[in-house]
Structure formats: C-alpha cells, structure tokens
Chain A
Amino acid sequence: MLPIALLGATAAVGAAAQAGPAEDYALHCMGCHGVNAQGVPGKVPPLAHSLVRFMNSVEGRRYVLRVPGAANSMLSDARLAAVLNWVVAQFDAGDLGRATPQFGAQEVAANRHRPMAGVLATRAAVLKEIAAGGPAPAAEY
C-alpha cells in the first residue's frame, strides 16, 4: 500500500513550458492525489487539510520534502517549493487560522537529497509531534 502512494505521488508526464504551480500540480501530483488533493482513502494520502499541518511542524516540513514522491519528482527546488505552497493556499487556506510559513528553494535543497529509509516510521514520529499541538492527519499511509 505504501509503495502505491509513493509511486503515485508524482506519477505524471509532460510539462508545459514555464508552467506555474497549478500546472505543475496537474502534471506532477494530481494523477494520484486527485483534482482536489483529496487522495484515495487508505491508498494515497490526502494533501487537502493535511499538508498545512505538516508545514507548521519542524519535523513535518522535513518529512514533506523527503517523501519519495516529492524528493524524486522532476521539479526543481524552486518549483517544488512553489507547488507545495500553492497546494496549501488552494486547499488548506484558513485551516489553522494563521499564516503558514512558506517553503523556499533553499529549504527544499537542504532536505530533499537526504534519503528517507523508513517512511512509515518517520511519518508516525512526525504525526506524534503534530498531535501534541492539535489534530493530526491520518496515519495509515
């Protein structure tokens, strides 16, 4: 089940020249995460109302940038940062009632090249940290 979610995270082909984050989401993320970033229950983790919680956690931010679907995507550091920021603005706006710290190319570059061997264990640890401060995203991915 896990490989399915990871494989699907960036399953896409093609790229429009000078694509913006909306186009990058469509081409690199939407194939698995869905038009509304809703994911597939039990198979593909949702980004809507979920990514924002990771982005407001120190370990969560590192986790998001290191999951295989994001880290191995064909997007540059700047475009990966832009598409993640776009997803939060598009699907998670107002979820926490405060502004979410944005990703930048430097933060992406510093994290995405560190391989994550145990995705499930890392996610469980991150969710524990998030749960300490409020509702946490689903754990089963």
Chain B
Amino acid sequence: MQRLDRIFESSARSLAQRTSRRSFIGVLGQILTGSLLIPLLPIDRIQRAEAATGPEGSPAAPGKVPAAAKGKSASKPYTEDQQSCEYWKYCAIDGFLCSCCGGSSHTCPPGTQMSVVSWIGTCHNPADGRDYIVSYNDCCGKASCGNCDCYRNERERPLYRLSRNNDVNWCMANTGSDYHCTVSVILGSAGP
C-alpha cells in the first residue's frame, strides 16, 4: 500500500513540476472548444430528419410500412392513402389528383373524358417491391379541379428535352381540351 502511495506521490509531483495550472486550463479549453465544433462537421442529416418529419417538414404519413419498403427507401414516407401525393403510383404525376375531384386514382370524375394521349412513367411499389409502368391520363372537358395539387414528375427532363417534359396539357388531343385532373393507370409490370 505504501508502495502504491509512493508511486502516485512521485507521479503527481513529477506532473506538478512539469506542468502549470494555467496549461491545464488551456488543454481543457481546447477539449471543450473541439467538442463544440464536432456538430459543425459536414454530416448528412437529411435522411434522419425526413424519417422523423417527412420530406417537407410535414409529419410522416401514417400507415404500416411493408417489409419490402423497409430498407429500400427508409427516408420516404409510405402511405396507402390514394388522396395523398406520396402514394407510390403518383411518382411521375403532375396535376390535381382525381381521387380528390370526384373520381378515383384511376377513373375520371363524372362529366369528364380521359385523355387519349398520356404521360408514361415507371413507379416502384414498396408493397411488393416491383416496378410498374403507369400511364398518367388527364381527365378533360371541365375546368380545373384545384384539389390535391401533386407535382412529383420523377425522371422528367427540362423543356429542351421536349419528349421527356411533362409540362403538357394531355387533353390537347381530346375534343374538350379543358384540363380537370389526372389519373394514374397501371399498364403492367416494368421488369421481369
């Protein structure tokens, strides 16, 4: 025990002879300053924030996330609500959701006609983990619905790539070319 005391005493005296209290305070200050700077390092926190609040600060949409959706895109909210812009089938849509306008996600509201030409996209269905070809037809013949405006346009290109730009009234080839809302019709599987 005495030996242990001697060891500690000698090491403490040695330390006291070599260093000052002022240097101790300096080192402590460096440690505190350094630890304060750690949060300023460039670390991606967007995914964690989106998982907690949704991509635009809205609360994460309710709904049970299927197993196939987990891990595939954990940062995206999952919803089965077809009146929500986040519904998987709307990944390339640009317009008012017909499900909020008296129709459904794939049928036009009464008094409108489905466009004969359409925008085509592919969307990933998290429920079964597969990709689907989706036709986005406008419903035509009545004034704009105005409900549930949804702009996602996945893989759209700027206007100078005209064949890949969706800033188009797809009612243009119909007799009544007034735009009312947009439906999303699954055409088939996009892969094997």
Residue numbers in A under 8 Å from B163 (CB-CB): 7, 9-12, 28, 69, 72-74
A42 to chain B, nearest CB (A): 9
Contact status A26-B155, CB under 8 Å: no
Contact status A13-B156, CB under 8 Å: yes
Cβ contacts B139-163/A at 8 Å (1 or 0 each):
0000000000000011111000111
Residues of chain B in range 69-97 having any CB-CB distance to chain A below 8 Å: 92
Tell me the B residues contacting A by CB distance below 8 Å: 92, 116-122, 131, 133, 135, 153-157, 161-164, 166, 168, 172-173, 187-188, 190-191
A76 to chain B, nearest CB (A): 14
Known: A27-B133, A40-B173. A13 touches B188 (CB 8 A): no
Beyond A11-B117, A27-B120, 5 additional pairs, beta carbon < 8 A: A4-B173, A13-B122, A16-B122, A16-B131, A31-B120
A69 to chain B, nearest CB (A): 7
Contact status A23-B190, CB under 8 Å: yes
User: A14 interface residue, CB < 8 Å from B?
Assistant: yes
Residues of chain A in range 5-31 having any CB-CB distance to chain B below 8 Å: 7-17, 23, 26-28, 30-31
Residues of chain A in range 50-99 having any CB-CB distance to chain B below 8 Å: 69, 72-74
Tell me the A residues contacting B by CB distance below 8 Å: 4, 7-17, 23, 26-28, 30-32, 34-35, 40, 43-44, 69, 72-74
Residue numbers in A under 8 Å from B155 (CB-CB): 13-15
Task: Give the contacting residue for B119; candidates A31, A73, A74; CB below 8 A.
Answer: A31
Known: A13-B156, A13-B166. A26 touches B188 (CB 8 A): yes
Residue numbers in B under 8 Å from A10 (CB-CB): 163-164
Contact status B190-A12, CB under 8 Å: no
Residue numbers in B under 8 Å from A43 (CB-CB): 116-117, 173
The contact sample of 30 A-B pairs, CB cut-off 8 A, is A4-B172, A9-B163, A10-B164, A11-B118, A11-B120, A12-B121, A13-B119, A13-B154, A13-B155, A13-B157, A13-B164, A14-B120, A14-B121, A14-B154, A14-B155, A15-B122, A16-B122, A16-B131, A16-B190, A26-B188, A27-B122, A27-B133, A28-B163, A30-B135, A31-B118, A32-B117, A43-B116, A44-B117, A74-B161, A74-B163
User: Which 3 pairs of residues, A with B, have the shortest CB-CB distance?
Assistant: A10-B163, A14-B122, A12-B120
Contact status A44-B173, CB under 8 Å: yes
Residue numbers in A under 8 Å from B119 (CB-CB): 11-13, 31
Contact status A40-B116, CB under 8 Å: yes
B177 to chain A, nearest CB (A): 10
Contact status B191-A13, CB under 8 Å: no
Contact status B117-A26, CB under 8 Å: no
B106 to chain A, nearest CB (A): 15
Contact status A31-B135, CB under 8 Å: yes
A108 to chain B, nearest CB (A): 16
A12 to B67 alpha-carbon distance, docked (Å): 31
Contact status A12-B164, CB under 8 Å: yes
Residue numbers in B under 8 Å from A23 (CB-CB): 133, 190
A4 to B153 alpha-carbon distance, docked (Å): 21
